[in-house]
Structure 1
Amino acid sequence: MKRQCIALLAALLAGCTGPDVQHYKSVTPALDLADYFNGTTDAWGMFQRRNGEVAKRFHVEITGVSEQDKLTLDERFRYDDGSTQQRVWHLARSADGLWRGTAADVKGEAQGEVAGNALRWQYTLLLPVDGSTYEMQFDDWMFLIDRCTMMNRASMRKFGVELGQVTLTFRRRACVP
């Protein structure tokens, strides 16, 4: 029994680790977060439960306004069931080069780091489900593919256990690769 507990603990801890975003520092094209999201961007995505089942699909229209080291993202979600949602992010690049952000349905402050073509973005989302609100930890990884396209994969966890993943493809409007 003791060995099983140790093995379970080791597996849980291993699930919390991942690559350091600096691993991607020399990968091009380099991501300039404020430049990429300045203007209108569309995203298409899905949420998959941990068993791989697609539970929800959605489209997001994102309007970004960039001013110096600040970025506002107005995200308008339309889900496959016809429901809608809005999230407005207020982001700022700090002196250490990290990005910090807030939104009404995010607990505390989100933190992100850009290196090369990658952004690692971590936050706790207050997720409403059937009349209750759950604090879900998100670990977002975004990768710039070309100047017009970015891919995003996010792990959604509660108490360190992955409950599902969100996958998104972003495409800047009026962008020529």
Structure 2
Amino acid sequence: MAIDAFAGTSPVFLPEIFFVGRLEGWAVLESLVGGLLKRATISAHGELDASTDTVLLTETYTFDDGHSDTLRWTIHKIAAGRYIGHENRLEGEAVGEQAGCAFHWKYTRDTPQGDGKSFKLNFDDWFYAIDESACIVRGSAGRAGIPFATAHVTYRKVT
């Protein structure tokens, strides 16, 4: 789906607004053939450096098997509707596009697993604003460009 399909929809999802403050979230990861793989709770906090249009977002996923993964994002708005992101485990940089209620975020990350291993995974995430304080994400995770799982994530702004 093209991001332009969401032009004119509301409420508008802007990372530099939504990701600022404290957020909580919940996630489920399902295999493509069906079946629950993992569940997680999410705790996040973001701060905006308005002078550089940069959000510093820290999010911690705590999985049902007991392991956690903390991502420390730097998300920079480079033009209207265009973003890049950095995080210490990324391969290259994340690329984002925004229009209306949607934000599309793609990246490849060396992702730690509960057994101590880590895998380089490709993520393709679509954020959809529900209102000013909630969004739902439908994402896919895969290896070598081949998706193997779907993620369903809900975020809610706490402050």
Do they fold alike, i.e. is TM over 0.5? yes
* Stretches of structure 2 lacking an aligned partner (at least 5 in a row): none
Residue aligned with 1:94, SS: strand
Structure 1 match to 2:98: 114
**CA offset at residue 31 of structure 1?**
1.2
Structure with the higher fraction of residues in helix conformation: 1
Aligned AA (2:158): R
The structure with the larger Rg is 1
Alignment CA distance shift 1:159-1:83 (3 Å): closer
Alignment CA distance shift 1:60-1:144 (3 Å): same
TM-score scaled by structure 2? 0.91
How many corresponding residue pairs?
156
Alignment of 1:17-96 (within 5 A): 19-68=1-50, 69-95=53-79
Structure with the higher fraction of residues in strand conformation: 2
Return the alpha-carbon distance in structure 2 between the equivalents of residues 53 and 33 of structure 1: 31
Question: Is 1:159 aligned with 2:144?
Answer: yes
Which structure has more relative contact order (CA 8 Å, sep 6+)? It is 2
Structure 1 match to 2:127: 142
CA RMSD of aligned residues (A): 1.5
* Stretches of structure 1 lacking an aligned partner (at least 5 in a row): 1-18
Residue aligned with 2:74, SS: strand
After TM superposition, the structure 1 stretch with the greater mean CA deviation from structure 2, 75-84 or 129-138, is 129-138
TM-score scaled by structure 1? 0.83
